Amino acid sequence: MTTQIPTFHLPTGAPIPALGFGTGTAWYKSESEPLNRVLIDSIKSALALGYRHLDCAEVYGTEPEVGVAINESGIPREELFIVAKSLKTLDDPEKGLNETLRKLQTDYVDLFLIHAPFLPPTHPLTIPQIWARFETLQKSGKARSIGVSNFTVPQLTSLLTHATIPPSYNQVELNPYCFDAPLLRFCQSHNIQLAAYSPLGPLTKFPGGPLDGVVKRIAEEKGRTESQVLIRWGVEMGVVVVTTSSRAERQEEFKGVDFELGEEVMREITEVGGREHHRIYWTKDYEN
């Protein structure tokens, strides 16, 4: 089955594929480890299937694998949409981005993100100071757009009061068990593209909850899989969805989101998902 991945647009007008291929979570490794050939081949498989949006971060330790996979794929750089995130190097974002570019074997990223707003009290820079440096990086062309990850409405509100260039993207954990409707509305009204990581959490991490039967029934009604229903739920809300798999058959499956759930089904999934709350990542930071 050949399906097109839908495209959204960032405030700069740049197109962004609505489905990203993640190179973190299950792929996480220390950079002192040798190159992970399974990851390189998985990225190449995803690219061969039509994925063009790669979600990366310095802390995943996998930027070198992404660079090798892109090179070996032979796909021209301008056809790709590469997201990078800085965390360890937020005390010197320019140095961090230069290192990221070297590892990714490219001279720009399409989006450069502050990976998380949770900085230790001893951090030498505040978020507004870091953002000012990110703005310089966007002006330099090394980052075509800049954004954030794991920011809440109060954190975005505060950032917007200081920003000259507003963030164009906010990537957060988002699935029906981890859905912040006010954050979606805030991002939509401020022209910030919201993106979802861990979209499959309800199936893979929290089975046994109230969504199980509902998602199964909808998948049967629509002639789709349960993963496709969860991914489509994000895309149909206008959210970029970042998923990943080491298996080509799942990569192909996840792409199959060219169908409609419709308003009533969308509401049902949101309502039933809202009966439980589960977060996988950054749990302690979100509590504070």
Residues that bind ligand NAP (CB under 6 A): 22-26, 55, 149-150, 171, 197-201, 203-204, 227, 242-247, 250, 281
Nearest-approach distance from CB 173 to ligand NAP, in angstroms: 6
- Could you give the angle at the alpha carbon of 43 between the alpha carbons of 283 and 45, nearest 5°? 130
Catalytic, out of 60, 169, 177, 197: 60
Q: Provide the H-helix boundaries in the chain.
A: 37-49, 63-73, 93-104, 127-140, 153-162, 181-189, 201-204, 211-222, 226-236, 248-255, 263-273, 283-287
| Residue nearer to ligand NAP on the CB measure, 48 or 139 | 48
Nearest-approach distance from CB 46 to ligand NAP, in angstroms: 11
| Residue nearer to ligand NAP on the CB measure, 57 or 68 | 57
Q: How far apart are CA 114 and CA 156, in angstroms?
A: 12
- Is there a catalytic annotation at residue 115? yes
Strand-pairing partners, residue 172, are 196
| Residue nearer to ligand NAP on the CB measure, 106 or 202 | 202
Catalytic, out of 115, 169, 177, 197: 115
- Could you give the C-alpha distances from 135 to 76, 96, 195, 212, in angstroms and in order? 27, 14, 21, 43
Largest CA distance in the chain: 54
Nearest-approach distance from CB 102 to ligand NAP, in angstroms: 20
Nearest-approach distance from CB 283 to ligand NAP, in angstroms: 12
Nearest-approach distance from CB 197 to ligand NAP, in angstroms: 3
Q: How far apart are CA 179 and CA 160, in angstroms?
A: 22
Q: How far apart are CA 132 and CA 163, in angstroms?
A: 7
| Residue nearer to ligand NAP on the CB measure, 106 or 171 | 171
**Chain centroid to CA 181:** 18
Q: How far apart are CA 85 and CA 96, in angstroms?
A: 9
Nearest-approach distance from CB 23 to ligand NAP, in angstroms: 5
- Could you give the C-alpha distances from 58 to 11, 28, 88, 154, 203, in angstroms and in order? 25, 10, 8, 26, 28
Neighbours of 152 (CB within 10 A): 16
| Residue nearer to ligand NAP on the CB measure, 61 or 201 | 201
- Is there a catalytic annotation at residue 278? no
| Residue nearer to ligand NAP on the CB measure, 213 or 262 | 213
Active-site residue numbers? 60, 115
